[in-house]
Amino acid sequence: MNLEGIHWVIVGGESGPGARLMREVWAQEIRLQAEKQNVPFFVKQWGGVRKERFGRELNGRTYDQMPKRRVISVMLVKAAA
């Protein structure tokens, strides 16, 4: 997949009643694409009805990458009294 213009990839399964399954292979494929294209990758949760039971590890570790913060200078203009 082309991640041009994408600054951050977040993967997570649905939670709560009626949550659909997220397959590990899907998360793996997305992680590989993000890695190849130097896009930060974050796993939020596996999901499910009891999401705390499954955690948020992929490959035995957590992925908490975040995009670099950009600092934008703002010129303050003094209001007329």
Q: Structure pTM?
A: 0.73
Mean residue pLDDT of the chain comes to 86
Residues across the chain? 81
Residues 35-58 as b/e (b if ≥16 CB within 10 A, e otherwise) read: eeeebbbbbebbbbeebeeeebeb
Q: Provide mean pLDDT across the span 22-47.
A: 92
Instruction: Give me the residue spans of the domains in the chain.
Output: 1-81
CA atoms of 11 and 78, how far apart (whole Å): 44
| pLDDT for position 29 | 96
Is the pLDDT assigned to residue 22 strictly greater than 70?
yes
CA atoms of 2 and 78, how far apart (whole Å): 45
- Report whether 46 contacts 55 (CB < 8 A): yes
Is the pLDDT assigned to residue 52 strictly greater than 70?
no
Q: 71: pLDDT confidence band, cut at 50, 70 and 90?
A: confident
